[in-house]
Amino acid sequence: MLNNKTAIITGSTSGIGYGIAAVLAKAGCNIMLNGFIDDASLAKIKRDLEIFGNKVSYSSADMKDPLQIKGMIDQAEKELGSVDILVNNAGIQQVSPIEDFPDNAWDNILAINLSSSFHAIKHALPLMRKEHWGRIINIASAHGLVASAQKSAYVAAKHGLIGLTKVVALETAEENITCNAICPGWVLTPLVQKQIDDKAAAQKISKAEAEHNLLAEKQPSLQFALPTQIGEMVLFLCSDAAAQIKGASLTIDGGWTAQ
Ligand code: NAD
Angle at the Cα of 219 from the Cα atoms of 108 and 243, rounded to 5 degrees: 70
- Tell me the backbone φ, ψ of residue 206, rounded to 5 degrees: -75, 160
Residue 155 above 90 pLDDT?
yes
Pocket around ligand 1 at a 6 A CB cut-off: 11-17, 34-36, 62-64, 89-92, 112-113, 139, 141, 184, 186-187, 189-192
Ligand 1 atom nearest to 191, measured from its CA: 2
Which residue in 155, 71, 161 sits closest to 117, CA to CA?
161
Tens digit of each residue's pLDDT (9 = 90 or more) over 19-28: 999 999 999 9
Residue 1 above 90 pLDDT?
no
Partner residues linked to 30 by β-bridges: 6
Tens digit of each residue's pLDDT (9 = 90 or more) over 19-54: 999 999 999 999 999 999 999 999 999 999 999 999
Residue nearest to atom 39 of ligand 1 (CA): 187
DSSP secondary structure string, 44-74? Answer: HHHHHHHTTS--EEEE---TT-HHHHHHHHH
Residue 66 above 90 pLDDT?
yes
What is the pTM (predicted TM-score) of this model?
0.98
Indicate if 154 belongs to the active site: yes
Pocket test for ligand 1, best of 191, 215, 233, 253 (most atoms within 8 A of CB): 191
Paired sense of beta strands 249-252 and 6-9, if any: unpaired
Separation of alpha carbons 100 and 97, rounded Å: 6
